[in-house]
A and B are shown apart, each in its own frame.
Chain A
Amino acid sequence: MSKENQMVDEDLYDEDGEDTQKDRYFTFRVGEEEYGIEIMHVLEVVGLQKITEVPDMPDFVKGVINLRGQVIPIMDVRTRFGMETVEYDDRTCVLVVNMMDQQIGLIVDKVSDVLDIPESQVQPPPKVSNRPGSRYISGLGKVDEEVKILLDVQKLLYEEEMAQVASAV
């Protein structure tokens, strides 16, 4: 994990590190729904900046940006979910996640909060769904009366990615 965690509270890293991150989710909004990903994957949130397009990429890979001298790829979560695209506005954010030593920026409509969602409050994902986004769901988390869609970052980033890249080339 990077030390540059800006959105995440400092005290998260006190003493038992990993443990305090358990069941904590970083939530954000895409379209009408709130989504959450495990906080251990989130490095930081940055504002949208100029994206350099890279040819021959699947449509959800928008290109690359310069994050303090590091070039990281950017994925548009809307496109990934098969939703219609919208104009980026000043609330559009890049959520930088770390997965298997690979940093990737996710474009989301708006970042929301860091929430504790204990395992008992998480339901398994619905079995049958043909919606393109459904295969990235790891569970449904209940917070008060609201439901957060919890995402499997690994699947979000990699599922069928190879096939799509291959078909694009």
Chain B
Amino acid sequence: MSNMKKEPEKQRSSKGRRLSKEKHSSENRSLSKENRSTENRDLSKDRRAIIKLAVTLFLITSITAVMLAGVNALTKEPIANLKIETRNKALLAVMPNSTVLEDKTFTTETLTIFTLERPNGSYGYCVEVAPYGFGGPINMIVGIEVVMNEGRYEKRVVGVAITSMQETAGLGTKANDESFLSQYNGLFYPVQNEDGTLNISPSAITIGRGDVDVDAITGATVTSLAVNRGVNTALDAITVNAEGQVTFDGSVDGTSGATTSNSEDNSTSMYLSFSSMDDIWEVA
């Protein structure tokens, strides 16, 4: 410790000497060889000082990195567990008392569809999407069931839950309020038109104010629109044919809501995860 205390003093004094010498040498730059050799010595001293600085900074950075690695190792597991726990909690909040059928989970790069067995024996689908909000992706889960209504199938929103977001605290975070999210419950999208043909237009739950399906949050329009886009995307990701058979559409982009690639590619990606025909089930 005593060595360390002396160091800055030494440095300072040598610096002072160097400064005066530099002044001196610049004045008589071309005069004598002696001066030039002291300049060289100064340069090597400078170099040593710079290396010392670099080494010190490197040491500080490495110690910090090691410390962070320790904290990371300590918290990695709880964080990962918490993420799964939040996800499962959100799945069950959307569809209470259901069991997640892990082997029937369908994943693309931008969305995940969980299949749940509901208490009455029917299947429910929870689509995990991440539309881009005001401050980054809003991770949300949209619960959808397929039901028969007046002879026609429809995709109906059972519930919406937000698992994580980076929206403005106090404004955008209101998207997580029950009063906003519950507006989606029961909204539906008919699978068939009235004449029996398949309804292929994309889902369009409207949001805003006035004559719309969902009232937007005041002061958080971007967030509200993002959540709405997420719900519409989720509805589109689940395709139902006229017989009520459910397939998952991998072409839907869960981050933006736009359909990315052509449908042929997606059907293959779809069947990759559902190898046998038994895996495409009828809605009870």
Real binding pair: no
